[in-house]
Amino acid sequence: MEINRESGVGEHSGSESLKKKQSIRAKEGNLTYLRELVGKMKTIQRNNFRRKYENLLNLLEIDTQVLAVTALVQYYDPPLRCFTFKDFQLVPTGEEFEDILDLPLEGKIPYKHTMQNTFVSTLAGILKIHPEELEGKMIMKGTIKGIP
């Protein structure tokens, strides 16, 4: 599926000022060749692919509803990576992602620390609090100082 976004500006009713709107055109790609290629894979090749990429091949079997995707993508907020509606945000939990993708997360490391330390002033700016207040809430866990 391919989604093209075109930015535009439109008026929003009520007391809100101008709001950016996006025109979205979605089209379903032709996956016939890819499905044929997967069909030609031998069992050993398919098992090796699944070991390396887990359940990625199952995505080829999902029926995509272009109209539903077009309607929902208007509410998708890329920076937050969730759907944002008027009064709430629709975000799957970790367990729901496990079910959606059929990828068990138990026993896997969710985050790998890169040994890059962030300055307290930078974090305080992001959280919009005074650096001294943040410094008072930080604790040591092992050899790393952080926010609990």
Is 125 inside a domain boundary?
no
Report the share of the chain in percent with pLDDT over 70: 77
Residue 49 CA from chain centroid, whole number: 23
Q: Is residue 131 part of a domain?
A: no
Domain contains 32: yes
Is 55 contained in some domain? yes
Q: Is the pLDDT of residue 127 over 70?
A: yes
Give a yes or no: residue 41 inside a domain.
yes
* Residue 114 confidence (pLDDT): 67
Cα dihedral: 41, 57, 103, 72 (round 10): 180
Q: CA angle 106-76-82, nearest 5°? A: 30
Let me know if residue 130 belongs to a domain.
no
**Where do runs of H (alpha helix) occur along 40-130?**
43-53, 66-73, 94-101, 120-127
**145 or 115, greater pLDDT:** 145
* pLDDT band (50, 70, 90) for residue 49: very high
Q: Which of 37-46, 91-100, 108-117, 130-139 has the lowest mean pLDDT?
A: 108-117
The pTM of the full predicted model, rounded to 2 decimals, is 0.39
pLDDT band at 8 (very low <50, low <70, confident <90, very high): very low
The number of domains in the chain is 1
Mean pLDDT of 49-60: 87
Write out the two tokens for 26. Answer: 């979605």
Residue 126 forms part of a structural domain: no
Would you place residue 31 in the very low, low, confident or very high pLDDT band (cuts 50, 70, 90)? Answer: confident
Confidence check: pLDDT of 146 > 50: yes
Query: Does residue 60 belong to any structural domain of this protein?
Result: yes
- Which of 6, 30, 41, 34 lies closest to 20 in space, CA to CA? 6
Domain holding 41, by residue range, is 2-107
